């Protein structure tokens, strides 16, 4: 295959490396991405009353880089180590960040995660970790964020299920989550994305029409360039196992939701081969959903690491790499056009390097590229256009 130009999409920076046992941060500005919550866009397909909202009225505070990772990002009024859902969810995402980063460093064998810890003036903060140009991973980001802010009235009204004549003022909110995108070098090793988040409104008692609301969201999805059916079945079986521990309807419901959400509409194809995805989930017991989100997050390593371990040293040629780069282009298209976290950050003046860190280092576009029918590349494209039931 002739060599064609490759478009480089990089949010790299000259960060120092840290050993696996130490994630301290120097006192300087570093590349990071904050977890963006699409507050103004409530598009749960099970709630047709929710409508897209513009988000220009939500200010984003500038982050301040800190030298040491704090024990907690919660405000003192929330308690530093209580049994609230906020506190337990924060502990969960910190633990998952540590376990995923440790597993990925062991798998890579050469690269280490670079850490950037930061806070915001009104409370909250985050820890961003990026491994770049490793032996196995081209780029891997695993990031947590705890955010306090104010939701504009129109976004709150869009979120409410019941029609009301009351007009609340700006509604304080709390949001926390973990977000990750992992891009391996080998074309036969798949990209992975996962994100788990918790959201609360926290309106004052004297604010009419604005009672406290809460919901969970998240998911884990697989984006390979080539299909190894045993890998895809393994991945989906882990997602189903996590779901079935709580409700047998979860996996088929959230698998379809994932296929629908990661739809690149202008190409009429999915970004990858799916997984699970859910949002605005609050129609079950809160404790059960906290446990469910924890189970899903803890399933990332067993679902993904064995696949990459198996494929990371598979021989490949220039044709395989070019196809991977074309599929990375599709990944970029979805993230920049449709992904709610990315578009929210871009519309509200967020830090560009932080927002775009989920993109791969390199991607590729060819004019009117069509894989030969029946080829391995064609089989992947067909599966993206016609989602399958893998288990």
Question: Closest Cα to residue 15, out of 145, 128, 101?
Answer: 128
Residue 281 CA to residue 303 CA, distance in Å, equals 23
Q: Could you confirm whether 369 is annotated as catalytic?
A: no
Residue 198 CA to residue 280 CA, distance in Å, equals 9
158 token code pair: 């869009």
For the chain, the structural domain boundaries read 7-385
| Catalytic hit among 47, 183, 193, 236 | 193
Q: What is the pLDDT of residues 175-214, one digit of tens each?
A: 899 999 999 999 999 999 999 999 998 765 555 555 578 9
DSSP output for 227-240: --HHHHHHHHHHHH
pLDDT at 4: 35
Residue 307 CA to residue 304 CA, distance in Å, equals 5
100 token code pair: 């995923």
Question: Closest Cα to residue 132, out of 191, 178, 183?
Answer: 183
| Domain 7-385 indexed as CATH 3.40.1500.10 | yes
List own/partner pairs for 14-21 with CB under 8 A and 24 or more apart.
15/114, 15/116, 15/130, 16/114, 17/111, 17/112, 17/114, 18/112, 18/113, 18/114, 18/115, 19/112, 20/101, 20/102, 20/105, 20/106, 20/112, 20/113
- In this prediction, the residues of the chain whose per-residue pLDDT falls under 50 are 1-57, 158-165
pLDDT at 154: 54
Question: Which is it for the CA torsion 158, 164, 170, 171, positive or negative?
Answer: negative
Q: Which helix (H) or strand (E) holds 298?
A: helix 286-298
Residue 322 CA to residue 4 CA, distance in Å, equals 9
226 token code pair: 């080539």
Q: What does the DSSP 8-state code read for residue 194?
A: E
Q: What is the pLDDT of residues 133-169, one digit of tens each?
A: 999 999 999 999 898 887 666 555 544 444 344 555 6
Burial 113-151, CB ≥16 within 10 A → b, else e = bbbbbbbbeebbbbbbbbbbebebbbbbbbbbbbbbbbb
pTM, two decimal places? 0.82
């Amino acid at each position: 295959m002739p060599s064609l130009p490759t478009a480089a999409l990089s949010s790299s920076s000259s960060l120092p490396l840290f050993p696996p046992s130490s994630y301290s941060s120097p006192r300087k500005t570093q590349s990071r991405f904050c977890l963006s919550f699409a507050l103004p866009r409530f598009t749960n397909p099970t709630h047709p009353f929710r409508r897209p909202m513009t988000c220009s009225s939500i200010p984003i505070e500038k982050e301040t880089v800190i030298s040491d990772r704090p024990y907690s990002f919660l405000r003192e009024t929330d308690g530093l180590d209580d049994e609230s859902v906020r506190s337990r969810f924060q502990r969960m995402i910190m633990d998952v960040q540590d376990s995923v980063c440790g597993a990925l460093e062991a798998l890579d064998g050469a690269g280490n995660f670079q850490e950037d810890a930061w806070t915001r003036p009104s409370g909250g903060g985050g820890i961003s970790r990026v491994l770049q140009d490793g032996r196995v991973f081209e780029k891997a980001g695993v990031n947590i964020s705890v955010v306090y802010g104010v939701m504009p009235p129109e976004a709150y009204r869009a979120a409410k299920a019941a029609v009301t004549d009351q007009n609340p003022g700006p509604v304080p909110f709390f949001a926390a989550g973990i977000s990750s995108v992992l891009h391996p070098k080998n074309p036969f090793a798949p990209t992975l994305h996962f994100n788990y988040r918790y959201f609360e409104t926290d309106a004052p008692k004297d604010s009419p029409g604005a009672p406290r609301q809460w919901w969970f969201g998240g998911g884990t999805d697989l984006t390979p360039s080539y299909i190894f059916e045993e890998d895809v079945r393994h991945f989906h079986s882990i997602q189903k196992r996590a779901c079935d521990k709580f409700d047998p309807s979860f996996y088929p419901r959230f698998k379809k939701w994932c296929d629908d959400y990661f739809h690149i509409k202008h190409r009429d194809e999915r970004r990858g081969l799916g997984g699970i995805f859910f949002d605005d989930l609050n129609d079950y017991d809160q404790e059960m959903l906290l446990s469910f989100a924890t189970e899903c997050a803890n399933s990332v390593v067993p679902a993904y690491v064995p696949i990459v371990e198996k494929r990371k040293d598979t021989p490949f040629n220039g044709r395989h790499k070019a196809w991977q780069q074309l599929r990375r282009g599709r990944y970029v298209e979805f993230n920049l056009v449709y992904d709610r976290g990315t578009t929210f950050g871009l519309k509200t003046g967020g830090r560009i390097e932080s927002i775009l860190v989920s993109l791969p280092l390199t991607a590729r576009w060819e004019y009117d590229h069509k894989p030969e029918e029946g080829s391995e590349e064609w089989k992947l494209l067909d599966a993206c256009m016609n989602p399958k039931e893998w288990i």
